[in-house]
Structure 1
Amino acid sequence: MGIIIKAMETDSEKKGKAYVHWKSWHESYENIVSKDYLNKLTLEKCEEWAFQWPENTYVALDGDKVVGFVCYFGKGKDAPGVGEINAIYVLSDYYGTGVSKKLMDVGLEHLKDYHTKELWVLKDNSRAISFYKKYGFKEDGTQKEIKSLGATEIRMVK
């Protein structure tokens, strides 16, 4: 498997990122978030977001197929010195292949100048929490109820 990690640039890559976003939520969160939210999370909505916010996004390509992505940003004036991994998703067919690790490495490399890195994860997403702990992220006790999801997110910091 020749996975390439690169900045998301083309319309095809944005559409691929949108598909991974949509598919990942429907594969991974079916028993974690409300069915109503998942029913409203359409591929078209994910495409809209991919085209609206393309910056700071890297995609994992297997040939021409987008199989994962990572998004990151600095918190700016709200929290100087804090960078956030905003999203990291990989198609389930690529679990355990190292794609998630490659994406996380790229995201963290772009956040290397921030003294604190953070991310938010669904409290019941034990697979993701275990993955983040391998990178040194720890739960800091902060959580927020996301009513639209019918779920709780927790913050992890490094």
Structure 2
Amino acid sequence: MVTELNEVTIRTATPQDAASIAQVHIASWRGAYAGIVPDDYLASLDHDQREAAWTQNLASSGADILLAEADGRALGFASLGPARDEDAESGDLEVYAIYLDPEAWGRGVARDLMRTMLGKVPPRTPVSLWVLKDNERAQHFYRRHGFAPDGVERRDDIGGRDLTQVRFRRTV
């Protein structure tokens, strides 16, 4: 359990961080999506599979992946890259992920990750992200950072449940 955080460092993640990122990713999914995504799906998330995916992603994705850590422990990560939506214009960016270990929620780590990531975005560059419609905590966080729903939604099957995702955009 994280009781007190010493100085949090945010740095570019490397393939050697894959195991730590996988651990945070699974813990965050289980905390953030409980009651939204089926419990049996959340329980089935496999660390080794997630680590292998992150090893590959960190080595070849072309995304900018940041890791937040304190006291040698990964607390969260975020990734940013070219927007993947059909209606995206050249140069548009997308936040692919921002996840935090639930034990670090409410301690400013996600805010610092988001600010650091957005600090890399060129002026007047649109940035989008997708969030589950039922994830009100995340939507509140994104609104605080200048994102707003743009009216585009998509349906995804996650763990056998048909869920709606909402696209948020930020233009400055």
Same fold (TM over 0.5): yes
1:94 aligns with 2:104: yes
Q: Percent identity?
A: 30
Gaps of 5+ in 2: 1-5
**Contact 1:6 1:58 (8 Å CA) reproduced:** yes
Shift of 1:110: 2.1
Q: In the alignment, what sits opposite 2:133? A: 123
Task: Say how many residue pairs are matched.
Answer: 157
Q: How does 1:6-25 map to 2 (within 5 A)?
A: 6-9=11-14, 11=16, 13-25=17-29
**1:5 corresponds to which of 10, 17, 20:** 10
SS in 2 for 1:2: coil
**Structure 2 length as normaliser, TM-score?**
0.84
Q: 1:76 to 1:133 in 2, by over 3 A?
A: closer
Q: In the alignment, what sits opposite 1:154? A: 166
When the two chains are superposed, the root-mean-square deviation of aligned CA atoms in Å is 1.8
Q: 1:26 to 1:98 in 2, by over 3 A?
A: same
**Contact 1:7 1:57 (8 Å CA) reproduced:** yes
SS in 2 for 1:133: helix
**1:138 corresponds to which of 127, 130, 148:** 148
2:135 counterpart letter in structure 1: N
Shift of 1:15: 0.9
**Structure 1 length as normaliser, TM-score?**
0.91
2:21 counterpart letter in structure 1: K
Shift of 1:111: 2.4
Shift of 1:9: 1.9
Note the alpha carbon deviations across 1:105-143, whole angstroms, 9 max, x for none: 122122235621100001111011000001110101111
Gaps of 5+ in 1: none
1:141 counterpart letter in structure 2: G
Misfit runs of 4+, over 4 Å: none
SS in 2 for 1:121: strand
Q: In the alignment, what sits opposite 2:72? A: 64
Q: In the alignment, what sits opposite 2:3? A: none
Counterpart Cα distance in 2 of 1:30 and 1:62: 26
1:35 aligns with 2:39: yes
